[in-house]
Structure 1
Amino acid sequence: MAKRAKSKSGTRKTGLPSKKEIIAYLENADGEVARRDIARAFGVKGEARADLRRLLKELDEAGAINLKSGKRIERADALPPVAPIDVMSVDDDGDLICLPANWRGETEPPMIRLAARKAAKVKPAPGVGDRLLARLKPAGDDGYEADVIKAIGKGAHRFLAVFHEKRRGGGVAEPVERRARDSFTIEKGDEGSAKDGDLVWIETKNARGYGPKKGRVRSIAGHIDDKHAFSLIALANHGIPTEFPNAVIAEAEKAKLPPLGDRTDLRDTPLITIDPVDAKDHDDAVFAAPDDDPENPGGFRIIVAIADVSWFVKPDSALDKEALKRGNSTYLPDRVVPMLPERLSNDLCSLRADEDRPCLAVEMIITAGGVKKRHRFMRAMMRSHAKLAYEEAQAISDGGTAPPALKEVVKNLYAAFNARMQERKKRAPLDLDLPERKIILDENGDVEKVVKRERFDAHRMIEEFMILANVAAAEALERAKTPLIYRVHDEPDPEKIEATRDYLDTLDYSLTKGAVRPANFNQLLKIAGERDQKEMVSEVVLRSQRQAIYDTENVGHFGLNLGRYAHFTSPIRRYADLTVHRGLVKAFKLGANGQTEKEAKALSKIAEDISDLERRSIAAERESADRYLAGYLEEKVGAEFDARIRGVTKFGLFVMLDESGADGFIPMRAIGSERFRFEEKEHAVIGESTGGVFRLGQAVKVKLAEAAPLTGGLRFDMLSDPLPGSSKRKGKAGKPSQPGRGKKARSKKRESSKGRRDKATNKKRGKANAKPRRG
């Protein structure tokens, strides 16, 4: 009998297929299938359909399938056991580096390696540009090994590259993809209108064996001399629009501030904004004061006012359609690609100091212990009484100079925050508190330095007030029975938790059996802090978590330990918040531009789309930062750095530098003098001779061997010794393996062995002084 999926409690639910059965079904299907097709195939009926929907969402969040509009489903990011792959380059050992054909993921495609000895068995020998049907086997945290089934013709992989002209026509294209190591020949006639230094989209042409790799120019994306080229590459790679259509600009320019009308007048209430020092848009303002209700002794009245974007962005308008197309603003080291034109994002919707601005505000009453008693939403007109940076707010709270009225405002905000911290302590959200870094550019657009963002209580205060307002928005819309998009963070997958539990056991940590709550992880992190291993364990805990997404079905927010949560506080930069604002306007009859029937019906599809767009922006932000950091470190090749292992694969180790946060790779051949084997369950590589271990989260010292700003790639050599290993981890039968690894080492070993045999033979023949013959 086929296995059936487990419920969250761990018991099997009858009538449901297992995750493996669903994936197998999709692999055998011809393209997309509908949810009802899966239900029919496995006999899922009645109330079990809701369980099936939850199961499919789990698979979607895990990247195993892709949920699309119209309840369509396809196999997605996690690669199937058999798939077509395109050969992109050949590495130093002759192995072929491949990418999955027709990759649909929002992140970088996984690394696929086809070993040279396996490629040699295919006739004719495959080369760059070929498409192969291959069996794929996971090879660690990031990557696959391939076994070729058959060649299936010419691939047509499209990638971004820098074009270099040749005098007699044509040229060379240097890919910006990190895994495409080789340049491509562009024959005369295939260059189109590309000029030297242009960033161009290239399509591969077929090439056999190890001959020249060829391609053709399909379009031009920009020029490499642009000081914003690194960001341009990231934006182009992910298809993020950088220019607003004329109709959208025109609509934004016509926008005007609304009159006070029926709005609540908050202009005399001393609301203030607290943001990063370089912030240009201010979409939230805060105020707090002691509650004067005698039945709430020690309590506080808090107001969170948010820019009223819904007033300016009408449903189904040109502005609305463009905002939905972008989903969110994208933040790169040198620029912000906004969701809304600057006329709105930096002007009419920005809560500037001493200027009237429309807002949607929530007034919340909390107890002395920080528990929210009630709330109410209002459409209002406000006037920010001060614009503070986090550092300034903290300095005032610590006793710095400021006007008396402003000091009183800050004092009350911190007092209300301290009350909220009591509630937070009891709620016990997941407390990873990972360090954040910021890339600082000089006037020429080059990286001047990388700094760790200092965390003040001012940061935590604003975060806590925003969380409280977001909870109030979700509760208000639920009570009003108004459709909404939640921000959900489901509890970790039981299988992943079990793997995490096993791994932590190897580090001598014990994670509670059964259901795991954020408090269990926090206790683990506390112990790790006492052992000076907090960063190592934080990495493990982070990897056990699901990704937070947008959804119309509420499963709560695991990380915040909240039953309901919706994004309300940043409508300038997130479309999800705009939909929540419209819902509140409709639910409480607050005027024009509320949620329409059309939008209410589309919320599920909108939630899927903006979740995808969020992942797209995150990937572009990461890639742009990688290129800037590689450019920054290019002059430091040969330097030594403190780092931490962020990923372990069969091909090597991924590390992150402590100082800059730059990510790089250590290939297996550069880890140490002995041969290392990959142990997936332990997230480690283990020396076959000594049993020494390099594992996930471990602090190490590395040397920068190569930096490639164009691709953002960094390659390192390991300098640290491995952690001591037990005797049972050493090579087979306890015999140490020979020092030296890779093809060159093995070749030298064979030569040395042959030399010894030849010398012994010569000695028997009375030729003790004869030189050994070369192998």
Structure 2
Amino acid sequence: MTENHDQETDFKTLEDPYAQREAEKYENPIPSRELILQLIQQAGKPLRRQQIAQQFGLESADALEALRRRLRAMERDGQLVFNSRQKYSLGDGHNTIAGRVLGHPDGFGFLKPDDGSDDLFLSPREMKPLMHNDRVTVRVSGIDRKGRREAAVVEIIERNTHQVVGRFFVEGRVACVVPDNKKIIHEVLIANEDIGNAKKGQIVVAEIVQQPTAHCQPIGRVTEVLGMHMAPGMEIEMAIRSYDLPNQWPDALLEEIKSLTPQVPEQAKQGREDIRHLPLVTIDGEDARDFDDAVYAQKTAKGWKLLVAIADVSHYVRVNTALDAEAQNRSTSVYFPEKVIPMLPEILSNGLCSLNPEVDRLCMVCEMLINEEGNVLRSRFFEAVMRSHARLTYTQVAKMLVEGDQKLAQKYAGLMPHLQNLYGLYKVMRHQRELRGAMDFDTQETRIVFGAGRKISEIVPVVRNDAHKLIEEFMITANTAAAKFLNRKKMPRLLRIHDGPGAEKLLALKTFLSELGLHLGGGAQPTPLDYMHLLESVKERKDAHLIQTILLRSMSQAVYSPDTKGHFGLALDAYAHFTSPIRRYPDLLVHRAIRHCLAGKKPAEFHYSHPDMVVLGEHCSAHERRADDATRDVVSWLKCEYMMDKIGEEFAGIISAVTGFGFFVELQSIYVEGLVHIASLHNDYFEFDAGRHQLYGERSGVRYRLGDLVRVKVVRVNLDDKKIDFELIASNKDTKKAGKNSASKSSRGKKSSDQPPAAKTKAKPRRRRKS
């Protein structure tokens, strides 16, 4: 009876949402895994293979064989269970997880789920058919010894690596490209007929013609030869291609902008407030080429009136144009040492949209009335035409206002009263910033100085003076006003959000602080003011730098989103990016929203909806990270090149990070970071204490802790991996027993690239872990 009943079951007709994907992958497509799972779930009971085939109308021998193989694969992957009655039911793994693959140089990887849940670990075996950035579905296959969820790949949904840039090698009859991006773990094989003009050791671009499988490496063909890897500027060319940074203007865009001239048309100035008489000035770095913002302050009876004028990029970059499509595609300008890939073409970025001195420019102005205590009483936005009265640098302004440089003050005598107004306003606003608890960490930025042949001559610290802080404070104030304005108007808008520390990071932070006898206020939800009170209480301590570093690392990363979550670091309830539309697409979106409001239009009439802003926020955040990663790669390469002739030299440094495989040291005099591998620390077992950010020697009691001063020798520089190895010479303290902060005397041993397999590690040669 049961058999007859099963055979007569009439299932509801189902449509396969993945039919197109299956058709692209297979000449004779069959129902997708998702549809098979949906069928069995809807039936509410196990089904035979024949029933599944009948429901989908599969009759040919080829189709039936393909279905058999798919069902067996789903059984193997845990999506289905084949029971003793020869029927298929849903398995524990039928709830698959979709996400993006993140490769790791050591051969394993992680899946970053689309639903925002915790990453899953992908073993080297699972990574064999995958490449960094692929999209896949996985099932949870277990928990590893570190407590991480392990994943088994169910299906590769989308391939996202279509070309690589790297070194070309030939060994006998085998040619390959070793990717520069170390997250791509595969060497790409090149057939003899696809080598082109490439020669051994050159940097090339290879197109992937066959993606990797569980048994085969990817296969490619050389499409471009960039040159030798030590050629000047090669590091930037490699980064552009490795990170797929758009750097060519589309023909449609070039056609669109060919009518633009360096001068603002008179017609464009009509209907705007004329503020050309106001002595607005730009204050930027010496090497700045585009000027987004100009400022002016006027003393009033009750405080100040501050004008922040921003280049009106939205007037030129209109929705649904080729110019807008490319700006969105790039999302941000990318700043390499001595080279910029701009978001907008030069006629706009350095011309019409740049607030150059003594020329008319269109701008969007944020006007704010501020009281004597530094609080913004009210603000308004308006479109205007302006004329910058001077292009000043941070150095010049600091010399005039802080150092009292009379020669410079005489040169800009007509502007000095206005500059003094700016400085007076800054000081009261600075006090208000401190009262609300906005973060102001004393971090060290550096600048690379090039000599002949684009070789680094020196790496120098960037000193932030009061002029830097003045402009920063005014930009933050204008950005805050923009966010409040758009929130008040209930507009779809993109905000800059920065969450407070997560529960896990907060627990680790409090554990670390308790070891030092310190306490962070605020309980489970500390405020920025709690952070700043703690920083203020420890600023005279010798380990203040260490504490500041740990506080910084407890913070989350700022992103773009339409959600009103506030900005933790700045201690603000609402914050947007408004002040840099030449180089950031989110700022352009904010300008468009403000312009929409100024035109008296309703939120529902805006070109963008809230869901649109969600997508754009994720897009811009991802491209911001891509730009940061590309820039970091270039700087690392340049620093390695700089250190190649310094092998054998000794330097003083500070431990900047501690891991299970050693500790990183930043050289104090030249701001370069390298690794002291645990394999070079002899005659002891070292235990990695993550909570205390230290390596602890079990026998000797020696400790190497974040923030300790050490002296190291440069022993190896690997330009391909962008890694520098140091050897410990001495620490800042004598060797002491457990419980006291110290460091051991130098021991010299042969280094290896082997990685320590566990946190508790004997100092002997092990495989090095790249991070």
Compute the TM-score of the two structures, normalised by the length of structure 1. 0.73
For the pair 1:501 / 2:510, whether they are aligned, the reply is yes
Q: Is the 8 A contact 1:552 1:603 kept in 2?
A: yes
Give the aligned residue type for 1:232: E
CA contact (8 A) 1:360 1:377 kept: yes
Pick from 233, 236, 242 the counterpart of residue 231 of structure 1: 236
1:165 Cα deviation (Å)? 6.1
* Within-5 A mapping of 1:276-295: 276-291=285-300, 294=301
Q: CA deviation at 1:595?
A: 8.1
1:201 equivalent in structure 2: 206
Offset at residue 566 of structure 1 (A): 0.5
Tell me which of the two structures has the higher relative contact order, counting C-alpha pairs closer than 8 angstroms and 6 or more residues apart: 1
Find 1:534's aligned residue among 537, 544, 547: 544
The aligned amino acid for 1:633 is: M
Aligned to 1:735: none
Q: What is the one-letter code of the residue matched to 1:625?
A: V
**169-178 vs 378-387, which deviates more?**
169-178
Give CA deviations for 1:318-348 in whole Å, capped at 9, x if unaligned: 1111111111111111311111111111111
| Aligned counterparts, 1:32-181, within 5 A | 32=98, 65-67=112-114, 73=115, 78-80=119-121, 84-86=125-127, 101-104=130-133, 159-164=164-169, 171=175, 173=177, 175-177=179-181
Q: 1:374 aligns with which of 375, 378, 395?
A: 378
- State whether structure 2 residue 489 is matched by structure 1 residue 460: no
Distance 1:178 1:720 in 2: 32
* Structure 1 residue aligned with 2:729: 719
**Residue 29 of structure 1, CA deviation:** 3.5
Cα contact 1:674–1:741 (8 A) shared by 2: no
Structure 1 residues 638-647 or 462-471, which shifts more?
Answer: 638-647
**In structure 1, which of residues 208, 230, 242 is the aligned counterpart of residue 247 of structure 2?**
242
CA RMSD of aligned residues (A): 4.0
> Structure 1 counterpart of 2:132, which letter?
W
CA contact (8 A) 2:334 2:341 kept: yes
> Matches of 2:575 and 2:543 in 1, distance apart?
32
User: Which is worse superposed, 370-379 or 218-227?
Assistant: 218-227
Q: Which residue of 2 aligns with 1:753?
A: none
1:656 pairs with 647, 661, 666, which one?
Answer: 666
Shift of 1:201: 3.3
Q: 1:263 to 1:706 in 2, by over 3 A?
A: same
Which amino acid in the other structure matches residue 254 of structure 1? S
Q: State the Cα distance separating 1:452 from its structure 2 match.
A: 0.4
Q: Does 1:260 align with 2:265?
A: no
Question: How far apart in 2 are the matches of 1:278 and 1:594?
Answer: 43
Shift of 1:563: 0.7
1:554-633 to 2 correspondence within 5 Å? 554-589=564-599, 596-598=606-608, 601-633=611-643
- 524-533 or 310-319: which moved more? 524-533
What CA distance in whole angstroms lies between the structure 2 residues aligned with 1:662 and 1:678?
Answer: 24
Q: Distance in 2 between matches of 1:269 and 1:284?
A: 14
CA contact (8 A) 1:66 1:75 kept: yes
Q: Distance in 2 between matches of 1:437 and 1:627?
A: 15
* Residue range with higher mean Cα deviation, 497-506 or 387-396: 497-506
Deviation at 1:621, TM superposition (A): 0.8
Residue type at the aligned position of 2:321: S
Q: Aligned residue for 1:47? A: none
Equivalent positions of 1:625-704 (< 5 A) are 625-704=635-714
Mapped to 2, the partners of 1:608 and 1:156 lie a distance apart of 17
Structure 1 pair 509–467 and aligned structure 2 pair: CA distance change class (3 A): same
1:270-327 CA-partner distances (Å, limit 9, x unpaired): 0000000000000000001101xx4x1xx11110000000000001211111111111
Residues 208 and 344 of structure 1, relative CA distance in 2, 3 Å threshold:
closer
In structure 1, stretches of 5+ residues that fail to align are 1-24, 34-62, 68-72, 88-99, 107-132, 731-737, 746-775
2:351 aligns with 347
User: Following the alignment from structure 2 to structure 1, what is the Cα–Cα distance between the partners of residues 124 and 287?
Assistant: 47
2:274·2:386 contact (CA, 8 Å) conserved in 1?
yes
Deviation of the 1:555 alpha carbon: 0.7
Distance 1:376-1:180 versus aligned 2 partners, 3 A rule: closer
- The one of 283, 287, 310 equivalent to 2:314 is 310
Change in Cα spacing, 1:145 to 1:636, as seen in structure 2 (3 Å) is farther
Q: Is the 8 A contact 1:85 1:134 kept in 2?
A: no
Which whole-Å CA distance do the structure 1 matches of 2:423 and 2:542 have between them? 31
Q: Please tell me the residue identity of whatever aligns with 2:351.
A: D
SS class of match (1:418): helix
Work out the CA distance in 1 between the residues paired with 2:187 and 2:123: 29
Contact 1:673 1:740 in 2 (8 A): no
Rounded Cα–Cα distance in structure 1 between residues aligned with 2:459 and 2:657: 22
| Corresponding residue SS for 1:399 | coil
> Does the Cα contact within 8 Å between 1:473 and 1:568 map onto a contact in 2?
yes
What TM-score do you get using the length of structure 2 for normalisation? 0.73
Deviation at 1:412, TM superposition (A): 1.2
Shift of 1:704: 1.3
* Paired residue type of 1:671: L
Matched, 1:329 2:339: no
Kept after mapping to 1: 8 A contact 2:121/2:151: no
- Amino acid across the alignment from 2:278: T
* Cα distance in 1 between the residues matched to 2:444 and 2:457: 20
1:361 aligns with 2:370: no
**Does the aligned pair in 2 maintain the 1:486–1:564 contact within 8 Å?**
yes
Separation in 2 of the partners of 1:27 and 1:355? Answer: 66
Percent identical across equivalent pairs? 31
* Partner of residue 56, structure 1: none
Most deviating of 270-279 and 259-268 = 259-268
CA separation of 1:671 and 1:404: change in aligned 2, threshold 3 A: same
Contact 1:485 1:550 in 2 (8 A): yes
Q: For 1:532-578, what per-residue CA distance to the aligned partner results, in whole angstroms no more than 9, with x for missing partners?
A: 22221121011100100111001111000011100000000000000
Q: How does 1:364-443 map to 2 (within 5 A)?
A: 364-397=368-401, 398-400=403-405, 401=408, 402-443=411-452
User: Does the 8 Å CA contact 2:112/2:120 hold for their aligned counterparts?
Assistant: no
Contact 1:242 1:337 in 2 (8 A): yes
Mapped pair 1:482 → 2:548: no
| Contact 2:496–2:567 (8 Å) recurs in 1 | yes
Alignment equivalent of 2:554, drawn from 544, 547, 554: 544
Call closer, same or farther: CA 1:743–1:599 in 2, change over 3 Å.
closer
Change (3 A) 1:189 1:670: farther
Q: Which moved more, 1:531-540 or 1:180-189?
A: 180-189
Instruction: Please give the alpha-carbon distance, in whole angstroms, between the structure 1 residues aligned to 2:752 and 2:702.
Output: 22
Deviations 1:36-76 (A, max 9, x none): xxxxxxxxxxxxxxxxxxxxxxxxxxx98454xxxxx3767
Work out the CA distance in 2 between the residues paired with 1:744 and 1:385. 58
Question: Hey, what's the Cα distance between the residues in 1 that align with 2:730 and 2:92?
Answer: 45
Which stretch shifts more, 706-715 or 671-680? 671-680
- How far does residue 708 in structure 1 lie from its aligned partner after superposition? 2.2
Within 1, Cα distance between the matches of 2:723 and 2:533? 37
Q: Deviation of residue 468 (structure 1)?
A: 0.5
Please state how far the C-alpha of 1:493 moved relative to its aligned partner.
Answer: 0.7
Give a deviation string over 1:567-619, Cα, whole Å, max 9, x none: 0000000000000000000111189x998434665111101110111111111
